[in-house]
């Protein structure tokens, strides 16, 4: 028997882990949008330190989203390889 097939583990993933992952994706996307708006606003004002800060928000949120999507893909490959639905 696989540990992921146990009913308490399924409930834990359904009620806690899956919504938490969706929340993290949403937070990363909101952080990206915040960085874009900050970058555009600061670009108009011409303050180079603020422009760099907005660009860093965009860069790090893009890296975070990429890492989350990569891990999600690796987990999907592993789940299909071992036959877990």
Residue 42 lies in a domain: yes
Residue 10 lies in a domain: no
Residue 75 lies in a domain: yes
Predicted local distance difference test score (pLDDT) of residue 51 = 87
Q: What is the pLDDT along the chain (85 residues), one digit of tens a residue?
A: 566 667 777 787 778 888 888 899 999 999 999 989 988 988 888 878 888 888 999 999 999 999 999 988 898 888 788 776 6
For 34-63, b/e burial (b = at least 16 CB within 10 A) is ebeebbeebeeeeeeeebeebbebbeebee
Provide the domain limits for residue 57.
30-85
CA distance 61 to 28: 6
User: How many structural domains are present in the chain?
Assistant: 1
Considering the entire predicted model, what is its pTM? Answer: 0.72
Of 76, 78, 33, 24, residue with least CA distance to 57: 33
Residue 11 lies in a domain: no
Residue 17 lies in a domain: no
């Amino acid at each position: 028997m696989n540990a992921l097939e146990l009913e308490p583990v399924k409930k834990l993933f359904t009620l806690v882990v899956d919504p938490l992952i969706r929340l993290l994706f949403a937070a990363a996307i909101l952080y990206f949008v915040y960085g874009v708006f900050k970058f555009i606003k600061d670009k108009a004002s011409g303050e180079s330190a603020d422009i760099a800060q907005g660009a860093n928000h965009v860069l790090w949120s893009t890296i975070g989203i990429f890492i989350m999507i990569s891990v999600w893909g690796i987990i999907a490959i592993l789940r299909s390889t071992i036959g877990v639905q």
